[in-house]
Each structure stands twice: as structure tokens, then as C-alpha cells.
Amino acid sequence: GKVLGAGSIDHPVVVAALWFSKSAEEKIEKSGGRALTIEQLILERPTGSGIKIIG
């Protein structure tokens, strides 16, 4: 799905999704986190360890 920029974030997180709104990507990065595509996530964590899936 698509991550939207509603709400606020005050700590760094790594989020992987198919799409991000521009405001969501900016908020994630401003908090010190990272916005990744699913492809980037697979390359960085090929075994899937340490990943939480939220639906």
C-alpha cells in the first residue's frame, strides 16, 4: 500500500512500502528514519529477520 503523511513521528524508524506520499517520506527522513521500497528491503534483509509486518 501507500504510506501517507498524516500524523507525526518523533523517533527514527525504517518503513518499507510500495509507495510513499512526499510528506510521509519527508517526515520519516526528518525523524532520522528511512523510507524504503520493498525491493530495497529485500536486498537489505534477504532472510527477513528483524522485520515486522503491519497491515
Q: How many whole angstroms separate alpha carbon 25 and alpha carbon 35? A: 6
Which domains, and CATH codes, for the chain? 2-44 (3.100.10.10)
Instruction: Dump pLDDT digits (tens) for 1-55.
Output: 899 999 999 999 999 999 999 999 999 999 999 999 999 999 999 999 999 999 8
Q: What is the pTM of this model?
A: 0.86
pLDDT for residue 1: 83
| Residue 32 CB burial class (10 angstroms; 0-12, 13-18, ≥19) | exposed
pLDDT for residue 55: 82
